[in-house]
Amino acid sequence: MTIALLAGCVTSPEGRSQLALFSNQELDAQGAAAFAELSAQTPTLQGAQANYVSCVADAITAQVPASSGYTQWQVRLFDSDEVNAFALPGGYIGVYRGLLGVAADQNQLAAVIGHEVAHVLAHHANERVSNTALTQYGLGVAQSLGGEQLGSLLGLGAQYGVLLPYSRRQESEADVLGLDLMARAGFEPQAAITLWNNMERATQGATQPEWASTHPDSQRRIAELQNRLAIAEPLYRAAQSEGRRPSCG
């Protein structure tokens, strides 16, 4: 197996310099493998709830620019009490049934899905795996690793590199980019603030979902989202006036 390594840095949508040692194709393949494994672990739900989740997710992904390379997304609702959701490189979105008890309406669900899709669009998984490679091997070695070592690095076993926790900075970035994305899709951005407040209450003492594990404290998160409303609210109003008014379940 040959894995192409791209030397150097790219720039995040927020203008931040990012390390990207791996190709997007390699990350997409990792996303596909991780999605297959997660799908094998937990039963998939069909029916009204699944249609509702797809309706919200489809409205969000319709706003993903074609230049991102992600034109097709698979959406799946998993039959699990877990309060969680994820999106993976390659265009995969998973929502766990338990989340629907906390994200109370389509706007709040859109806030979560927008956040997760923003991680993918900002190439956070590549950055995270690249930083891990750099820490473990050093730059020169990381750029000349053989396929086997890279395979183990990317976690071609039970644990996939694309599922490692995000950094606080990445979480903040996904919050603001996700807010813009949901607003462009015609979902009320104010709902993101309600959602994160609900989430804070719902997950206290429980297993921390993806977005809570390394996230800046909730007060800071709410403040950042409040600031971003100055950008997201006009995007929302434009979406509404252009006829993007999702009405999901």
Catalytic residues: 116
| 199 is a site residue for Zn ion (CB under 5 A) | no
Please report, for residues 6, 42, 54, 95, the alpha-carbon distance to residue 116 in angstroms, rounded to integers and kept in the order given. 25, 19, 14, 10
| 118 is a site residue for Zn ion (CB under 5 A) | no
Q: Which two tokens stand for residue 6?
A: 């791209």
157-176 residues near Zn ion, rule: CB under 5 A: 171, 174
For the CB of residue 98, give the shortest distance to Zn ion in the complex, in Å: 17
| 225 is a site residue for Zn ion (CB under 5 A) | no
Which lies closer to Zn ion via its Cβ, residue 69 or residue 165?
165
Q: Where are the beta strands (DSSP E) in the chain?
A: 9-11, 17-19, 44-45, 74-78, 85-88, 92-96
Which lies closer to Zn ion via its Cβ, residue 88 or residue 174?
174
**Interface segment toward Zn ion; rule CB under 5 A; list 29-37, 69-77, 82-90, 208-216:** 208-216
CB-closest chain residue to Zn ion:
211
Which DSSP category does 67 fall into?
A: G
Of 70, 160, 211, 236, the one binding Zn ion (CB under 5 A) is 211
> Cα–Cα distance between 68 and 120 in angstroms, integer?
10
Contacts for 169 with CB less than 8 Å, ≥ 6 apart: 16
Which lies closer to Zn ion via its Cβ, residue 171 or residue 180?
171
CB 56 within 8 A of CB 191: no
| 21 is a site residue for Zn ion (CB under 5 A) | no
Which stretches of the chain bind Zn ion, using CB under 5 A? 171, 174, 211
